[in-house]
A and B are shown apart, each in its own frame.
Chain A
Amino acid sequence: QLQLVQSGAEVKKPGASVRVSCKTSGYTFTGHYIHWVRQAPGQGLEWMGGINPNSGDTKYAQKFQGRVTMTRDTIISTAYMDLSRLRSDDAAVYYCARDSTNTWYGGVDYWGQGTLVTVSS
């Protein structure tokens, strides 16, 4: 069955970087864009950006430009999100999510289980 399985929880110090992985299965990885969305504790959903797994092209929300990098490995059907220069307000659950199409504009149909990132000195 279709799955997006994310890496485990992380605890990082301010200023450090974090990598979250999203291993997909049950569908053609290169046929659907991947979005990254985060949710701070008790807060709403915030789109960070995404990647076209076929070409590697990315789009990032302005807020994260210069701090976020999204990549993929098509051999193992896995997407990655790297966030650098972590601050306390980066503490959140980070989700990968599949677009229903091979565009940015199909809507998200499947989500990973989420990865909790804690930022604490």
Chain B
Amino acid sequence: DIVMTQSPDSLAVSLGEGATINCKSSQSVLYGSNNKNYLAWYQQKPGQPPKLLIYWASTRESGVPDRFSGSGSGTDFTLTISSLQAEDVAVYYCQQYYDTPLTFGQGTRVEIK
């Protein structure tokens, strides 16, 4: 199984400041034949299902604010929130869909400082 490891487990950021979450996979999720990274980012607020933010590592889902961006390739990925808003308080998960079983990172909790 591909193990996904996120860091940090939690972070507190002042409103308007940036936040960076890292995700590392135990093997590459870059598929050579199409040069796509099979990596998604989700946001989950309490009592709600996860919401897709980013897919193919860097493509923003329709309707997601442009303060959210994804980067990285191979085994190392980053989710960046450029200017934290109050509504961004949530747990964020990375997920690989390169192979089954689909696997998720343990989650990163983002709070307001």
Interface residues of A (CB under 8 A from B): 35, 37, 44-47, 49-50, 59, 61-62, 95, 97, 100, 104-114
Contact = CB atoms under 8 A, between A and B. Distances in A.
Contact of B101 (A61, A105, A109, A113): A61
A45 B97 contact: no
A45 B104 contact: yes
Contacts of B103: 47
Interface residues of B, number: 23
Contacts of B50: 45, 95, 108, 111
Given A49-B101, A105-B98, A107-B97, 12 more contacts: A44-B93, A44-B106, A45-B50, A45-B104, A46-B104, A95-B49, A100-B55, A106-B97, A107-B95, A108-B52, A108-B95, A109-B52
Contacts of B105: 44
A50 B107 CA distance: 22
A105 B38 contact: yes
Interface of B: 38, 40, 42, 49-52, 55-56, 61, 93, 95, 97-107
A46 B99 CA distance: 14
A22 B105 CA distance: 25
A108 B42 CA distance: 10
Tell me which of B98, B99, B102, B106 has the highest count of chain A C-beta atoms within 10 A of its own C-beta.
B102
A79 B22 CA distance: 34
Nearest to A109: B52
A108 B39 CA distance: 10
Given A44-B107, A47-B104, A107 B98 contact: no
